Structure 1
Amino acid sequence: MSSPMDIPPDLVGQSGLYNSPDPLLRRLRLETPEGKSINNLSKYFAEKEVLVLYAGSEFGENNIRGFHRDLQSFQQKYKSASVIYISTDVLEKQLKSIIQGKTWLNLTFFDNSDFAPIGEPDEKDWSVNLQEVKRGEDFLQAGEIELGVEKIQFGIEENENDYVRPLSRAGLTILMNVFSTPSISIYHLPTHQFLAKNVSMNSFKPENIDKNYQIWKGGESTSIKISDIINKMKWTLLLLVLAILYHFAVRFGGEQYDFIPKIMNGINGKFGGKI
């Protein structure tokens, strides 16, 4: 668990707006589709239960517009859920091209994310905007999480009165185990933990989402587990084990254990050699 820190000078007197006992939510600096910061987390998320964390980029967006429509419909239908877009792009205009017309929230863009461009980008006022948005906060970066410099313990409540470093976009993608975009994770606010990571886009199709959301809302995962695979394939696996045992019995025990041909010959004899 991260240790509490001194409040940045620019947040003195208003850090309580980020109060939340949830170890993830309290570390997010979120904005509405209109670009306004969500400061009072406790008030805004009072009725929310599920966070859909969507890490995406402008590249390849044309190929997943169907998914975007499904996600937009999901956000409008389920009021106890919030979709949060995490841009992995390096220019703010790329973020805006994705969230335009959407009702999703998004992680603030200017956070010094590890994958931000080195040097001065094309937009001349980028560094000025960075300071205005950051308000003196030191965002937790991906490298620090990977090296274990900062550890976040999920599944428990934290002291909401302690100030902790906010997560950068890059830092959050590490927690989500993002290998490529699009990447979707499901987070359950009541239990303070991730339910599923790298969720299939098909989970949000109209024919699937009602069932899936009830599972997520109940604090369960829709991810395929090893136990589920074993349960569905138990008879197939049993036959496979028996076949392997039979093979080794014949190979090392001799022809006396090769009983299948004898059984087949017996059956064939009963049917007059017609099999």
Structure 2
Amino acid sequence: MPVAELPQDLIGCSGLYNSPDPLVRRLRLVDHAGAPVTNIQRAFDETDLIILYAGSAQGSNNLTELHRNLTRVMIKDKAVTVIYVSTDVDAKIALTVAAQQPWYRMIFEDDSDFAPLTKGEPEVIEIARGEDFVPAMEIETGAEVVTYGEEEDPQDYARPLSRAGVSITMQAYSTPSIAVYNLKTHEFVARNVRPVYFQADKIAANLIAWRKGDALGVGFKDLMERLKWPLIALLIAVLYHAYVSIKGEEANFLPKLLDQISWRSRELMGHAL
């Protein structure tokens, strides 16, 4: 890993990056009270799983159950830490989601470039501590590569990841998006985790799996559930095509049926007028 130049504002502040973990040392955080985390190693000393939650204020009112479940797991399991990654471009709006939660959250002053995530130009221009935050584009193009799965020298300064940079690392192309990071193996063990995985009757087993390194996320079962109705429609279309092929074109009743429906609709509209 190439060693980045230490900004003048960080001289004597090695606690911000003094973790050997490749992700944690690149995060700039505040706690639930808004106080900056100045010793990252101490803050995560008891943590073995990090839940990264990329969200936005838009639609957050419909996510109260998810927020409640994330808070519950963090309170009940002291080895689990939730970090909120806001994808909003307005600091005041972003705060409405996490202000009453015990989660950590990434600092806002990182000039995050959310162009890959949302339309429009990024509006955040203030930079904290004069640091050169890694934007999303550098992660996408491979200009900045973070090697997960191994430790780094905690004495070497590394450029911090912006919120947009973390979002791309999470593969969070929409919100809400959740990724689980195993701090012991220094790797993401799950991305695009469904909110249902954090329900009270499921979370205990899922935490065990994530701690073992099992990649629970969008699996085959989840894909089948999401594609259930399109697959049923496809099956009906295939059966209908086979039926017409066997019985002949005179059995192709669908065009006639659609024509009758269209005619009847026009007739009803004419009566209504």
How high is the TM-score relative to the length of structure 1? Answer: 0.75
TM-aligned CA deviation for residue 17 of structure 1? 3.9
Q: Which residue of 1 aligns with 2:87?
A: 88
Asked whether the 8 Å contact 1:16–1:161 carries over to 2, the reply is no
Alignment check: 8 A CA contact 1:7 1:15 kept: no
Q: How far is 1:66 from its partner? A: 1.1
Percent of counterpart pairs with the same letter? Answer: 43
1:148 to 142, 145, 148: 142
Quote the residue 1:78 is aligned against.
77
**Alpha-carbon contact 2:114-2:136 (below 8 Å) kept:** no
CA-atom RMSD, angstroms? 2.1
| 8 Å contact from structure 1 (residues 30, 105) kept in 2 | yes
Preserved contact between residue 192 and residue 218 of structure 2 (Cα < 8 Å): no
Unaligned runs of 5+ in 1: 230-275
Give CA-to-partner distance per residue, 1:136-195, whole Å, 9 cap, x none.
100000011111111011101111111010000000011101121000000000000000
Residue identity opposite 1:219 in structure 2 = G
CA distance in 1, matches of 2:218, 2:105: 28
Q: Does 1:213 align with 2:212?
A: no
Residue 158 (structure 1) aligned with residue 155 (structure 2):
no
For residues 145 and 203 of structure 1, the distance between their equivalents in structure 2, rounded to whole angstroms, comes to 28
Instruction: From the CA coordinates, give the structure whose radius of gyration is larger.
Output: 1
In the alignment, which residue of structure 2 is the partner of 1:56? 55
Distance 1:9 1:205 in 2: 45
* In 1: Cα distance, 2:157 partner to 2:87 partner: 26
Amino acid at match of 2:31: T
Q: Which runs of 5+ in 2 are unaligned?
A: 224-273
Map of 2:3 onto structure 1: 4
How many residue pairs get matched?
219
Instruction: Assess if the C-alpha contact under 8 Å between 1:20 and 1:26 holds in 2.
Output: yes
Q: Can you list the C-alpha shifts for 1:8-33, whole angstroms capped at 9, x where unaligned?
A: 00111222442111000000001101
Deviation at 1:78, TM superposition (A): 0.8
Cα contact 2:193–2:218 (8 A) shared by 1 = no
- Amino acid paired to 2:12: G
Alpha-carbon distance in structure 2 between the residues aligned to 1:137 and 1:42: 19
* Contact 2:16/2:28, CA 8 A, preserved across alignment: no
Q: Give the counterpart letter for 1:92 in structure 2.
A: A
SS at match of 2:171: coil
Q: Distance in 1 between matches of 2:218 and 2:65?
A: 24
Shift in Å at residue 65 of structure 1? 0.9
- Code of the residue aligned with 2:69 in structure 1: it is D
